Amino acid sequence: MNIEKVIFSFFIVLALTLNFGFFMGDISNPEHHSVYELFAAIVVSLIATVLKFGERTQIGAVLLATSLVADLQLIAAAIVWGMAMQVSAAGLTPSTMAVIVSLAGGALAANVISVVLLIVDIAALRR
Angstrom CA distances, 27 to 2, 39, 87, 95, stand at 40, 18, 22, 9
Q: How confident is the model at residue 100, as a pLDDT?
A: 97
- What's the pLDDT at 111? 97
Find the DSSP H helices in the chain.
3-23, 35-52, 58-86, 94-126
Q: Tell whether the model's pLDDT for residue 73 goes beyond 80.
A: yes
| CA 32 to chain centroid | 18
Q: What is the pTM for the complete model shown?
A: 0.92
The amino acid occupying position 53 is F
Per-residue confidence at 127, pLDDT binned at 50, 70, 90?
A: low
- Averaged confidence pLDDT in the chain: 93
pLDDT in tens, 11-63: 999 999 999 999 999 999 999 999 999 999 999 999 999 998 877 888 889 99
